[in-house]
Structure formats: structure tokens, C-alpha cells
Chain A
Amino acid sequence: MIKAEQKPVEEILDFLDPYNKILLVGCNACVAVCHAGGEKEVGLLASALRMARKNAGKRLEILEDCSTRQCEPEFVDELGEKAGDVEAILSIACGVGVQTLAKRFPEIPVYPGVNTKFMGETEEVGVWAERCQACGNCILHLTGGICPVARCAKQLLNGPCGGSQEGNCEIKKDVPCVWQQIYDRLKAIGQLHRMEQYIPAKKWGQESRDSGPRSIVREDLKL
């Protein structure tokens, strides 16, 4: 899922400075799971913003809402009435949600309340780690289900570099070498021969973000 973390309150206060009435919208999907932009965080941030503004002698009225999924136009449509008389919208969904709101409400300024970080896994409560870079052509079947694109500092596709030391990456001692992990995993599942399988260079200019914004079109689903 998409992982995000709240922007510093002072940064949010700075761009909300000109406004007296805003709509604060969270998203009950990915960002709720990482405790950055769900319903609970809407209440917490709204409270903090009101207190800060009142403390500064400048009141701020905040309408609160939380979309089921802010990246889906039909859920964003439900905000229409509330958005009717606000001066700005603060979204604490991921960057996708912010853009969906901006598209739905072209006449209202929309600001991001979180920094969208990566697609990742929950390692433990309160700890999330990057696992996918949406490179556009998955090779996890060749690497034991562990991604060297997202988890190798150099994105090497055919084994570790010379900086792999005792299972750790040279960039930081507490970062595991993903190629060591891939080797251990392939060995555990009896597919060590895959280490000898050459993985060709990725076509970054055709499959990934390097080729410009991507889209998926399913003609069978379009009405």
C-alpha cells in the first residue's frame, strides 16, 4: 500500500494562513493504515490546527470528512456539498487523492497535508518499509519474491555489488543486502539455479515513469 507521513504542522499552517474556512479531508484507504491520513488523523490534525490558529489570535473553521477512497471520483463526489462554501481544501490522502480533489473542485485551492513516501509493507506496528517502485515490469518471479529494484540501493538485477558485507548493504550497516536476502530465499525454496539466470536490463524508457506519466486502459471495463 501507499505509505505517507504527515507534513510538519508549521508547513501546513503556513499555506493555510490566508484562509478562514477550510475542508480537511482524509482517506480511509492506504494512508489510514499507516496512520497518516485516516479518520482519526483528520480529527487530530483539525484539532491541532484550530488550537494553533486560536493561539495565534486567528480563528480557523474546519469542516472534517474522510473519503472511503480519495483516488476514486465517485467517493470524492460525496464531498461536493461540504466543499461548497470553503475557501480551501486540505487533503491528507496521498498525492493521488490530492489530485483527484483538485480535478473535482477546479475552483478551490487544494493543499497536501502529508508527504507521500512509497509503496511499502508494514514490518511491525509503526514501521513501514519500501517494497515496490512500480517499475512496470515485475521480475519477482525470478528473485524469490524479493524486489531488487525497490530494495537494492543500486537497483542491481544480477547479484550483489562489492559493497555487500556480511549480509548488509554498504550504504548503511543496518540495511540488509537484498541480494543476500534473494540468495537465502532462493536457496530455501530450492530455486538457487535462478541466481544464474540472466535478468536483462529494464526498459526504463518504455515501461517505467521515465517514459512519462503512465496509464492503464481496459476497454472491456469502459462504459
Chain B
Amino acid sequence: MESLSPRIVAFCCDKSGYVAADMVGKLGMSLPESLEVIRVPCAGRIDAFHMLQALENGADGVLIFACHEENCQSLSGNLIVKARMGYVYGMMEKIGFERERLELCNVATNNGAKFAEAVQRKYDDLKRLGPSPLK
């Protein structure tokens, strides 16, 4: 069964992803209505627990928008979250979730278009993949 409107939770670093998300509107671009943006002070603040919780609470996919590597405003938050994602991928595999449901996107503050494209691509991917196994 194909999900009509995949629910995407996007954790956005306040120093990069969130600013880029804000720019989407200014560029006149649109985002799926089923996108839920969660602003975090740094991607390194996103714990493995938050990623799983998002999936458990009904997200079909989770996107994490962090600063580019070697350009983290908090030095290494983007690398920390990347490492944590590795752990979560292992967990997802064992409990029957496709790894495509979780993805990291490195963006800069002026990457509004890239943000919109990443969300749209994930939206299309999730439509093909189907709804979360929990639905």
C-alpha cells in the first residue's frame, strides 16, 4: 500500500537547516504539508532516542539538517549526529525498518533551494517505499 502523503519529521540545526528552511518561503518554493520541522540548537543535540521516537510516533521518514562537515557552528555537532545515526541504522535494521527512512543532509544557511529539494526527494522516496511499517 502506498502512502498518499508521507509524514516527514525534519530536525533542523538552528545555525544551518532552520535558516535554510526559512529561506524556502522567501524563494517562493513550497514544502509538503506533511513536513514537520523541529528546531534544535545544534544537530549534535539530536539523540538516537529522538530519531527512534519520531519514527515510533508516526513519521514515515526522518531528515536531519545539519551544518556542512568541518563547518559546524558548534565544532562537531554534525559529526556527532552522523555517528549516532550509524547506531540507529543498526537498530532500525534489526527491528525491521528500512534505512532510507532516516537521512542526514548537510546544508548551509543560504541553501533554501537545496533544503526544499532534499525534502521533496525524501517525500518522493517515501511514497515509493510505502508507509512506515507501524502504520
A, B in one complex: yes
Residues on A facing B (Cβ under 8 Å)? 8-10, 40, 43-44, 47-48, 50-52, 54-56
A8-B94, A52-B94, A52-B96 given; name 4 further pairs at CB < 8 Å: A44-B48, A44-B49, A51-B134, A54-B134
Q: Which of B52, B91, B95, B96 has the most CB of A within 10 A?
A: B95
Pairs across A and B, CB under 8 Å, 12 listed = A8-B94, A9-B95, A43-B49, A44-B48, A47-B52, A47-B56, A48-B91, A51-B55, A51-B95, A51-B134, A54-B134, A55-B96
Q: Judging by beta carbons under 8 Å apart, are B56 and A50 in contact?
A: yes
Q: Judging by beta carbons under 8 Å apart, are A40 and B49 in contact?
A: yes
Report the bound CA distance from A9 to B53 in whole Å. 17
Q: Judging by beta carbons under 8 Å apart, are A48 and B47 in contact?
A: no
Report the bound CA distance from A43 to B47 in whole Å. 11
On chain A, the residues within 8 Å of B133 by CB distance are 55
Size bracket, chain B contacts: 10 to 19
Question: What is the CB-to-nearest-CB distance from A50 to chain B, in angstroms, rounded to a whole number?
Answer: 6
Interface residue? B97 (CB, 8 A): yes
Question: What is the CB-to-nearest-CB distance from A18 to chain B, in angstroms, rounded to a whole number?
Answer: 19
Report the bound CA distance from A56 to B55 in whole Å. 16
Chain B, Cβ-Cβ closest to A50? B56
Report the bound CA distance from A52 to B48 in whole Å. 16
Report the bound CA distance from A9 to B56 in whole Å. 16
Q: Judging by beta carbons under 8 Å apart, are A9 and B96 in contact?
A: no
Interface membership of chain B positions 36-67, coded 1 if the CB is closer than 8 angstroms to chain A and 0 otherwise: 00000000000111001101100000000000
Report the bound CA distance from A43 to B52 in whole Å. 10
Question: What is the CB-to-nearest-CB distance from A17 to chain B, in angstroms, rounded to a whole number?
Answer: 14
Report the bound CA distance from A47 to B56 in whole Å. 7
On chain A, the residues within 8 Å of B56 by CB distance are 47, 50-51
On chain A, the residues within 8 Å of B94 by CB distance are 8-10, 48, 52
Q: Judging by beta carbons under 8 Å apart, are B53 and A47 in contact?
A: yes
On chain B, the residues within 8 Å of A55 by CB distance are 95-97, 133-134
Chain B, Cβ-Cβ closest to A9? B94
Interface membership of chain B positions 7-48, coded 1 if the CB is closer than 8 angstroms to chain A and 0 otherwise: 000000000000000000000000000000000000000011
On chain A, the residues within 8 Å of B55 by CB distance are 51
Question: What is the CB-to-nearest-CB distance from B128 to chain A, in angstroms, rounded to a whole number?
Answer: 19
Q: Judging by beta carbons under 8 Å apart, are A56 and B49 in contact?
A: no
Chain A, Cβ-Cβ closest to B52? A47
Q: Judging by beta carbons under 8 Å apart, are B52 and A48 in contact?
A: yes
On chain B, the residues within 8 Å of A52 by CB distance are 94-96
Interface membership of chain B positions 48-89, coded 1 if the CB is closer than 8 angstroms to chain A and 0 otherwise: 110011011000000000000000000000000000000000
